[in-house]
Amino acid sequence: MSYAQRVADRRRAVFLRRARRVLLVALAAALMLIVEVSLISQLVSRNESAAVLAAQSPDDSGLTIPVPTIDQVEAEEPRCESSAAGDALTAKDPAALIEALGGAEQLREAVAAGAAPCVPLDDPVLPWVVVNKQRAIVPVDYAPQVQVPPSHVVEGGLRVDVVDAFERMVAAADEEGAGRVSLFSGYRSYATQVATYDAQVSARGESEADALSAHPGHSEHQLGLAVDVVACEAGGCGTIYQLGDTAQGQWLAENSWRFGWIIRYEDGQTETTGYDPEPWHLRYIGEELAAVYHEGGFRTLEEFFGLPAAPDYG
């Protein structure tokens, strides 16, 4: 199925869900009206003056019954208890689980409110898994199936199911005039992260290293869902530290969400993430959730999912 067809199917599903919710509200309103009419009839049968009843405001009569809103009807739906949610979780199908909970925005809101126990944030198979200084990868030696994308210059690859999303983003950046972007560092195994972190400690000391590199078992790179990227020109590619000042870096900050990616460690968020700003570090969470992340103005996954800040290791 093509991307356009998937988008059309999702929009159709959203339309049908919204139509169902509107129908539920209408039915609830009709039921409330029937109840209210019945109460009024009882009062009239007790010789209450029809004129007095007509003159009374809804507040004075005490008969006004609030009609539930769409949000209230949605909140009452046992989404996590549905067979669709159970099947999606068993299959570890993120798209199906999002649909079972009513959409990406509803999933995020439910998770942040603690109302979606069926949505794990610690399963490394799911694209929205949260790894930080307080949340280690489980199991610690997790290793996804990895593929090296064409747009790479140094090391590592990506989880096979997100290579296409990365390549489409890279192509769009070039086509839209920003320039060429290449993967500098992608997947790192637990063992590789041990060597990477130890090298940072040797060069900078533990405190500074912790602001730049994750402890083994706490690195998003081990998920295969994170990339460090560089800007490339005809004469070659720059370093990751130069990306933020390039047209490519600006384009990624504004557009990566369109392809399911977010800038994971933004400027001004160190007290939440525990890391210095890294405009070169992109994290894949899926197109639907990334759109909600962007439209909601979120700047960290911790805030997005209502999790505590993780500036230090526990």
Q: pLDDT digit string (tens) for 288-301?
A: 999 999 999 999 99
Higher pLDDT, 74 or 19: 19
Query: Do 93 and 151 belong to one domain?
Result: no
Give percent above pLDDT 70 in the chain: 75
CA distance 298 to 285: 13
**Considering 112, 136, 156, which residue would you say is the last residue of a domain?**
112
Query: Do 96 and 223 belong to one domain?
Result: no
Tell me if 313 is assigned to some domain. no
Number of residues that this document lists for the chain:
314
Output the domain CATH number for residue 269. Answer: 3.30.1380.10
Query: Do 170 and 224 belong to one domain?
Result: yes
Q: For residue 274, what pLDDT band results from cuts at 50, 70 and 90? A: very high
User: 63-74 pLDDT, tens per residue?
Assistant: 555 555 544 444
**Considering 62, 94, 112, which residue would you say is the last residue of a domain?**
112
The reported pLDDT for the residue numbered 175 is 98
Query: Do 161 and 296 belong to one domain?
Result: yes
Query: Do 30 and 163 belong to one domain?
Result: no
Tell me if 132 is assigned to some domain. no
The amino acid occupying position 92 is: K
Domain count for the chain = 2
Q: For residue 50, what pLDDT band results from cuts at 50, 70 and 90? A: very low
Tell me if 30 is assigned to some domain. yes
On whether the CB atoms of residues 165 and 214 are closer than 8 A, the answer is: no
Summarize the confidence of residues 92-115 as an average pLDDT.
Answer: 96
Query: Do 194 and 256 belong to one domain?
Result: yes
Query: Do 29 and 161 belong to one domain?
Result: no
Tell me if 134 is assigned to some domain. no
CA distance 63 to 130: 49
Tell me if 152 is assigned to some domain. yes
- Structural domain boundaries, residue 181: 146-304
Q: What are the residues whose beta carbons fall under 8 Å from the beta carbon of 92, sequence distance 6 or more? A: 123, 125, 126
* Secondary structure of residue 64 in the 3-state scheme: coil
* The two three-digit tokens of residue 78, written as one number: 């046992």
The reported pLDDT for the residue numbered 156 is 78
Query: How many helices, marked H, and strands, marked E, lie in the chain?
Result: 14, 8
CA distance 152 to 165: 14
Judging by beta carbons within 10 Å of its beta carbon (0-12, 13-18, 19+), is residue 111 exposed, middle or buried?
Answer: buried
Higher pLDDT, 119 or 151: 119
Distances (CA, A) of 176 to 3, 164, 173: 20, 18, 5
Please give the positions annotated as active site: 278
* The two three-digit tokens of residue 114, written as one number: 């603690």
**Considering 92, 112, 132, which residue would you say is the last residue of a domain?**
112
CA distance 180 to 37: 68
Question: With 70 as the cut, is the pLDDT of residue 57 above it?
Answer: no
Tell me if 103 is assigned to some domain. yes
CA distance 72 to 12: 23
Question: With 50 as the cut, is the pLDDT of residue 171 above it?
Answer: yes
The reported pLDDT for the residue numbered 113 is 95
The reported pLDDT for the residue numbered 8 is 53
Query: Do 158 and 300 belong to one domain?
Result: yes
* The two three-digit tokens of residue 6, written as one number: 């998937």
The amino acid occupying position 73 is: V
Tell me if 124 is assigned to some domain. no
Summarize the confidence of residues 101-111 as an average pLDDT.
Answer: 96
Question: With 90 as the cut, is the pLDDT of residue 32 above it?
Answer: no
Query: Do 101 and 163 belong to one domain?
Result: no
Q: For residue 30, what pLDDT band results from cuts at 50, 70 and 90? A: low
Tell me if 283 is assigned to some domain. yes
The reported pLDDT for the residue numbered 77 is 45
Query: Do 49 and 172 belong to one domain?
Result: no
Q: Give the least confident one: 12-21, 73-82, 191-200.
A: 12-21
Query: Do 100 and 151 belong to one domain?
Result: no
The reported pLDDT for the residue numbered 69 is 54
Query: Do 155 and 105 belong to one domain?
Result: no
User: 190-248 pLDDT, tens per residue?
Assistant: 999 999 999 999 999 999 999 999 999 999 999 999 999 999 999 899 999 999 999 99
On whether the CB atoms of residues 293 and 257 are closer than 8 A, the answer is: yes
Question: With 70 as the cut, is the pLDDT of residue 251 above it?
Answer: yes
